[in-house]
Amino acid sequence: MGTPHIGGAARATLAGLASLSLATGLALAITPQATAAPQATVHAARSNPYSPAYKHPYRHGALPTIQRNAKMKSWAASHPATAAATGPQTLSYGGGIDGIGVQSGHSKVYLVFYGSQWGTQSTNGSGDATFSGDPDGAAPVAQEMFKDIGTGNERWSADLTQWCDGPNVSSGATSCPSNANFIPYQSGGVLSGVWYDNSAASPSAATGHQLGAEAVKAAGHFGNTTAASNRDAYYVILSPHNTNPDSYQGQYCAWHDYNGDSTLSGGPVSSSYGDIAFSNQPYNMDSGSGCGVGFVNSPGTLDGWTMTLGHEWQEMMSDQNPAGGWTNHTGSSYDGQENSDECAWISPGSTGGAANVTMGTGTFAEQASWSNDTNNCAITHAIVGGGSSGGGGTLTNGTFETGSLSSWTTSGSTSATTSAAHSGSYGAMVGSTGPTNTSSLTQSFTAPSGTSKVSFWYNVTCPDTVTYDWATATLQDTTAGTTSTLLAKTCTQGAGWKQVTGSVTAGHNYTLTLTNKDDNYSGDATYTYYDDVTVS
């Protein structure tokens, strides 16, 4: 969590970051809720008065400026930590909080542009939301990065597939048993929705509580109103240019947490939707080289932006409700840090250094993350225990926010369009406003561990009768050899959006088919909008 901010006059000395690479400041303690987590070590950030986490323990792993780092090292030298029982960077499992350690399903990332200072919203040629108050063009790059994760055979994110949770993982474990719930390889992208909340201006310096409240509000906006629908959800709260959320400037670049952390500034956030994972993502280009501008490329305006987004997402995946997932409990100078903290700001070209990562359609500056199984900082990694499941992996692009029908098999007349959106910017239109025949979308997937249902929203325009035209949806369980009808033949007009839910069995392979039938007769064309297809 919390990528470091390197501030003041030291911003011009990025060459010195290599010396910071792995042994920068000490990170925060396990949150009070993590009752199952190991309690043997004393987390130095609670007592080191120069740490950005001092008296702000929700800043999980926030690393210091150069000046603070020097003071922290001096203080730590006179207050030595206990000897590490294992390698100093080894991560161990915290036992879970509310049964949650990692995101062991397909991640659903929601980008929340928080506050009217983002300006006027438009859409670019790639279908990404753009904003007049975004001088560095950061918003579309964030969307493209999350669309691209798990595409183009990228292996930067495969490091995550070694981490796990579940009842078979012991608190304190440093590796995963074969019967654990592993993080799967996130094939096909993870962006699930984009929302511009311009109902009010973002606070000039939002508290942790305010950021968490915005995340809970976003969950409601996206229709994720149950604990199950938020089990694999992650809300990135993006504050606008010239704001200072949680007083980040001069201290750090971002952090992540969950709503129930009692140490959040302003207090925890109540939620009737289950636990809500979120991050504080400042417009950290405002901090210049201190937050990574030019760290990998020249001019590299958005280097630190994508590195920070990737850093926090990787840490959320491996430690969703901090610190119930995988963190450092060795008693070393890495104590309390997460996988990305341990590899922050390693210079490009160095072992484990930051680098450009090429994905399906774009290239993004990213940093490495710690890997227990290879005992190093990995910018690329083989897919291990959490490899993609059979049957095509988990269901992807169910919100169509890629602006395309990628991951779906299409027939007849189909398109991704803004007019079909139930939430976010895009939905799927199956059929046409003109005469056509049968059209459909089909996707095969494997129900991840911990899931029990598939759901989607539909809105049918059918000026004919169900004898001739209709919308319908089926779910084939190819493991059990059965097929169920989720949406019986339906012909209505003006009824608006309706939700359909069906049952799935974790580990089974499925084929979902969303259909629109038109009799190709002029004057009464039938078409159906589908959106927000999820497995939870």
Which residues of the chain does CATH 2.60.120.260 include?
Answer: 409-535
Instruction: Work out the average pLDDT over 122-131.
Output: 95
Whether this model's pTM surpasses 0.95: no
Instruction: Work out the average pLDDT over 263-272.
Output: 97
Q: For position 85, what pLDDT does the model report? A: 52
- Let me know how many helices (H) and strands (E) the chain has, helices first: 5, 25
393: pLDDT confidence band, cut at 50, 70 and 90? low
Q: For position 80, what pLDDT does the model report? A: 65
Instruction: Work out the average pLDDT over 85-98.
Output: 91
pLDDT in tens, 199-219: 999 999 999 999 999 999 999
3-state secondary structure of 532: strand
Instruction: Work out the average pLDDT over 380-388.
Output: 74
Instruction: Work out the average pLDDT over 418-422.
Output: 93
4: pLDDT confidence band, cut at 50, 70 and 90? very low
Q: Residue ranges of the alpha helices (H) in 31-133?
A: 66-77
295 conformational bin, left if phi > 0, alpha if psi -120 to 50, beta if neither: alpha
Instruction: Work out the average pLDDT over 408-427.
Output: 91
**Mean pLDDT of all residues in the chain?**
85
Instruction: Work out the average pLDDT over 312-329.
Output: 97
Is the pLDDT assigned to residue 365 strictly greater than 60?
yes
Instruction: Work out the average pLDDT over 379-406.
Output: 74
pLDDT in tens, 432-472: 999 999 999 998 888 877 778 999 999 999 999 999 999 99
Is the pLDDT assigned to residue 284 strictly greater than 70?
yes
If one compares 521 and 46, the residue with the highest pLDDT of the two is 521
Q: For position 41, what pLDDT does the model report? A: 32
Q: For position 335, what pLDDT does the model report? A: 87
Q: For position 74, what pLDDT does the model report? A: 78
Q: How far apart are CA 75 and CA 77, in angstroms?
A: 5
Instruction: Work out the average pLDDT over 12-29.
Output: 30
Give the whole-number percent of the chain exceeding pLDDT 70.
86
265 close to 212: Cβ distance less than 8 angstroms: no
Listed residue (237, 326, 318) closest to 276, CA to CA = 237
pLDDT in tens, 23-43: 333 232 223 333 333 333 335
103: pLDDT confidence band, cut at 50, 70 and 90? very high
* DSSP string of 318-373, one letter each residue: H-SSTTSSEEE-SSSTTTT--TTGGGTTPPTTSTT--EEEE-SS-EEEE--EEETT
Q: For position 492, what pLDDT does the model report? A: 95
Is the pLDDT assigned to residue 329 strictly greater than 90?
yes
Selection from 110-114, 174-178, 445-449, 505-509 with the highest mean pLDDT: 110-114
Indicate the helix (H) or strand (E) that contains 487.
Answer: strand 482-490
Per CATH, the number for 409-535 is 2.60.120.260
Following CA atoms 58, 64, 70, 75 in sequence, which dihedral angle do they give, to the nearest 10 degrees?
0
Write b or e for each residue in 141-151: b if 16 or more Cβ atoms lie within 10 A of its Cβ, otherwise e: bbbbbbbbbbb
Q: How far apart are CA 334 and CA 22, in angstroms?
A: 8
Q: For position 93, what pLDDT does the model report? A: 98
Instruction: Work out the average pLDDT over 348-372.
Output: 95
390: pLDDT confidence band, cut at 50, 70 and 90? low
Instruction: Work out the average pLDDT over 1-12.
Output: 33
